[in-house]
Amino acid sequence: MEQPIRKIIHIDMDAFFASVEQRDNPELRGKPVAVGGSKARGVVAAASYEARKYGVHSALASKIAAQRCPQLIFVKARFDVYSAVSRQIREIFYSYTDLVEPLSLDEAYLDVTENKIGMPSASIIAKEIKQRILKETGLTASAGVSFNKFLAKIASDMDKPNGFTLITPDKAEEVVAGLEIEKFHGIGKVTAAKMQSMGILTGADLRQRTEEELVRHFGKVGRYYFRVARAQDEREVQPHRIRKSIGSERTFDTDLTEEDDMLERLLHLSEEVAQDMARLQATAKTVTLKIKYFDFTLNTRSKTYLSEFSSADAIYTIARELLRLPQLPPYPVRLLGISVSSLTYQHDRLREGYQLTLEL
């Protein structure tokens, strides 16, 4: 029996962190905004579309961002707010299908081949989701609709912000053929540069290469490149993508030298990590403390327990111990980060019938 054509939606919030800040502070609307960092130092976590016109983007050094856009407004990140809005948005997704695969706080795949409202049109569902997100959160999202994940992701990027794009089976190969190679989902800057040096500039160029040749140059992932060049992607939407770690980190405007200042930052980081763990219904056994010194030297310290923990108090207690052992940071600290790993999720505990907790 022939399988029905899948109906996949990719929803991507528009400049999510920055848009939340502009929503909550009318004075920021229409202005170039960077979330995270400062004019002196740090890294941009997100940029508004007004800032992007100047070449400001996420992961850009704040100092460079300020040089590119002198009128750039830096605002402090509020991850608890972004997480809360993300939960609102996911509740909208789940009202249509349980096959939701979150990729981050601001984007997800949905398989609506069969859906809770019995709607045969994925396009109508996607447009309705966009309208509900705007009405319930005051934010815009872009949506891509197609018959596989690769094409849905490509589609959502084609008409941002507040866009909608449908790629139908009869147009798929044509769309992929005309796509610049650096716009392929799954092809990063380094790989794109290597492909360009080989004369592979577009999807049409990529399609001219054999699978054997792509595997020889790029390893196993070459098989993926061979398939997507032909608009083929059999990956299913996975509603329970397993995250191996959960973490949060901060770069400081001024290097930290006092233990009390470091402990204060660790407390906030612990609370953020615990909030994410609660949202994901996860517990952990390992805490890793990340320390970056003034000269960018990186040091990590980890500790693993036999029992599980999930509270901010437990995470902070362990992180505090790691900060002091084997010694307090001997040099000024530029960045601190906390991550937890060896994770167990609620659905695993229910299935296996156990629950061990450690509260310090």
Domain limits for position 261? 245-349
275 and 308 co-located in one domain: yes
Q: Quick: pLDDT tens for 249-278.
A: 998 888 999 999 999 999 999 999 998 888
Is 356 domain-assigned? no
Residue listed under structure tokens 């500039």: 201
198 and 259 co-located in one domain: no
322 and 194 co-located in one domain: no
Rounded mean pLDDT of 172-187? 94
Whether 356 shows a pLDDT value over 80: the answer reads no
Is 331 domain-assigned? yes
CB count within 10 Å of CB 129 equals 21
Is 287 domain-assigned? yes
User: Is residue 80 marked as binding?
Assistant: no
Q: What is the CATH number of the domain that holds 103?
A: 3.30.70.270
Domain boundary among 167, 185, 210: 167
Rounded mean pLDDT of 114-121? 95
Domain boundary among 145, 167, 189: 167
Closest by alpha carbon to 251, among 288, 299, 300, 293? 293
Token couple for 109: 């795949």
Q: Which residues, other chains included, contact 237 with Cβ-Cβ below 8 Å and sequence gap of 6+?
A: 8, 99, 100, 101, 109, 110, 111, 149
69 and 54 co-located in one domain: yes
Domain boundary among 134, 152, 167: 167
141 and 177 co-located in one domain: no
309 and 281 co-located in one domain: yes
CB count within 10 Å of CB 254 equals 11
Rounded percentage of the chain residues whose pLDDT exceeds 70: 94
Rounded percentage of the chain residues whose pLDDT exceeds 90: 74
7 and 143 co-located in one domain: yes
For residue 352, the model assigns a pLDDT of: 44
The pLDDT mean for the chain works out to 91
187 and 328 co-located in one domain: no
Is 235 domain-assigned? no
Q: Which entry of 50, 107, 272, 308 is annotated as an active-site residue?
A: 107
Is 145 domain-assigned? yes
195 and 92 co-located in one domain: no
Q: Which residues, other chains included, contact 249 with Cβ-Cβ below 8 Å and sequence gap of 6+?
A: 269, 290, 335, 336, 337, 338
Is 240 domain-assigned? no
Q: Quick: pLDDT tens for 202-227.
A: 999 999 999 999 999 999 999 999 99
Is 234 domain-assigned? no
Distance CA 195, CA 189 (A): 10
Rounding to the nearest 10 degrees, give the CA dihedral for residues 220, 225, 227, 232. 120
pLDDT band at 279 (very low <50, low <70, confident <90, very high): confident
- Look at 31 and 76; give whichever has higher pLDDT: 31
What DSSP assignment string belongs to 192-261?
Answer: HHHHHHTT--BHHHHHTS-HHHHHHHHTTHHHHHHHHTTT---PPP-TTPPPSEEEEEEEEEEEE-SHHH
Is 47 domain-assigned? yes
Asked if residue 58 lies in contact with residue 105, where contact means CB atoms within 8 angstroms, the answer is no
- Look at 194 and 43; give whichever has higher pLDDT: 194
Q: What is the CATH number of the domain that holds 207?
A: 1.10.150.20
For residue 241, the model assigns a pLDDT of: 64
**134 φ/ψ angles, rounded to the nearest 5 degrees:** -65, -45
Distance CA 35, CA 73 (A): 8
pLDDT band at 321 (very low <50, low <70, confident <90, very high): very high
DSSP helix/strand/coil, 113: coil
147 and 207 co-located in one domain: no
Residue listed under structure tokens 């400062």: 38
pLDDT band at 360 (very low <50, low <70, confident <90, very high): very low
User: Is residue 106 marked as binding?
Assistant: yes
For residue 110, the model assigns a pLDDT of: 98
**335 φ/ψ angles, rounded to the nearest 5 degrees:** -145, 145
Q: Quick: pLDDT tens for 135-179.
A: 999 999 999 999 999 999 999 999 999 999 999 999 999 999 999
Domains contained in the chain, number = 3
Annotated active-site residue 107? The verdict is: yes
Asked if residue 131 lies in contact with residue 11, where contact means CB atoms within 8 angstroms, the answer is no
160 and 176 co-located in one domain: no
194 and 290 co-located in one domain: no
